[in-house]
Amino acid sequence: MSVLVFTLIILVGACFAGFVGSLTGLGGGFIIIPLLTIVLHVDIHYAIGASLVSIIATSSGSAAAYVKEGITNMRLGMFLEIATTAGAVSGAMLAIFIPTHFLAIILGVILIISALLSLRKKVQQVALHNPWAVKLKLNGSYPTDDGIVNYSVSNVAGGFVTMLFAGVLSGLLGIGSGALKVLAMDSIMKVPFKVSTTTSNFMIGVTGAASAVVYLQRGYIDPSISMPVVIGVLIGALAGSKILVNSKSSGWLRWMFVIVVVALASQLIYNGIIGKI
Amino acid sequence: MATKHKFRDTDMQAVLGWVLRIGVIVSISIVFFGGVVYLYRHGSEMPNHTKFTGIPDFTKLNGIVQGILDFRGRSIIQLGIILLIATPILRIVFSIIGFILEKDRLYVFISLLVLFIIFISSIGGHIA
């Protein structure tokens, strides 16, 4: 297999990962890391580095669109970024000391949990009054078809701690941990769905950058792998977002994605246990 | 600017949107260009990434300038990737300016804190 063929395979795989990742809102990292490690036998550290770079690209690209529409809660994002960046830096430093087969097992488990989380029925709950939310100016408003909707934020401390954990996972495994971020915001802090998804997206870029600077210095960001990954994921994500605008996200697609992720993740866990990774 | 216009969240959102968009477009274009150069020069060689061996010197921070001067594809890609990583960080810098203009001291502090955490990790990453 020549460099050209190797690059093209990654490019096509990354396109697919970006496409499905954007349709389901989980991000491209879910498929790209298992693809690189299991199918192409790339060292998991390189895979994580490349995935981090692609996460920054897609999250920045889509955040650019959302932030202009005024749905993203910039203050909420900024405040929680204290937790995600602190977590991400610790996670990235930790990743250096954890043997690759352990990383593979942890990643597999987290992928399965996140995929299953994405299936859960969403029930919007109304936030209770929280003095911290007022002090930190986290309560906000966003435009809908029926005009401006105001909302408040609950359980600031609980959300903050969950974000810390999301940051650690992101730095450790090179995923955006968007599922966990959204969970922290809509289930714990009771932020409206549209705000929590766009704000999560807004935060993923900064979280990714915090870990990427560590990976970069460690030499884990290899240009020849990152190049097809980042270009492919971005193309796939763009295509996915175009489709998402035109149709309601369908249930079968979500199921298909979960099955793909669970299959890949089990493979990761299996390879991790027998020590092949 | 001597206008009476007060800087608001909506202005800041527009600016941040542009920062992110331009950052992604510029860095990806550089990555793409570097990729073409790299594949043109090395497309027929055999890849080996199964074991982590560290990346070549010309893609490291201190070797990258020389690499670009030598027109090495991977150095150019790495420059694009570094710019991409810098994009969200630049977004924080612009947020700080925005919060200063809004006179929101609390969020100037919070944004500075986030920037500080990233700064610490960028100088401490190779120590641990």
B118 and A209 in contact by Cβ < 8 A? yes
- The phi, psi pair for A174, rounded to 5°, reads 75, 20
**Structural domain spans, chain B:** 11-41+58-121
| B28-47 residues touching A, CB cutoff 8 A | 28, 31-32, 34-35, 38-39, 42-47
Structure tokens at A97: 């000391």
pLDDT (tens digit, 9 = 90+) per residue, B1-48? 445 567 788 888 889 999 999 999 999 999 999 999 999 998 888 777
Among A80, A220, A230, the residue to mutate for chain B (most B Cβ within 10 A) = A230
Angle at A123 between CA A122 and CA A125, to 5 degrees: 135
Neighbouring-strand partners of residue A198: none
Q: Which of residues 76-115 of B touch A (CB under 8 A)?
A: 77-78, 81-82, 84-89, 91-92, 95, 104, 106-107, 110-111, 113-114
Please judge whether A206 and B118 are an interchain contact, meaning their C-beta atoms are less than 8 angstroms apart: yes
Shortest CA distance from A95: residue in chain B: B128
* pLDDT tens over chain A, length 277 residues: 788 999 999 999 999 888 877 776 666 777 888 889 888 888 888 999 999 999 999 888 888 888 888 889 999 999 999 999 999 999 988 887 888 888 889 989 988 888 887 777 766 777 778 888 988 999 988 888 888 888 999 999 999 999 999 999 998 988 888 778 888 888 889 888 888 888 988 899 999 999 999 888 888 899 999 999 999 999 988 888 777 655 555 567 777 778 888 888 898 899 889 877 6
**Which single residue is written with the structure tokens 């097992």?**
A105
pTM for this entry: 0.89
Angstrom distance (rounded) from CA A38 to CA A254: 23
How far from chain centre, in Å, is Cα A93?
19
Q: What is the ipTM of this complex?
A: 0.89
Cβ atoms within 10 A of the Cβ of B24, count?
25
Average per-residue pLDDT in chain A? 86
One-letter amino acid at A53 equals: V
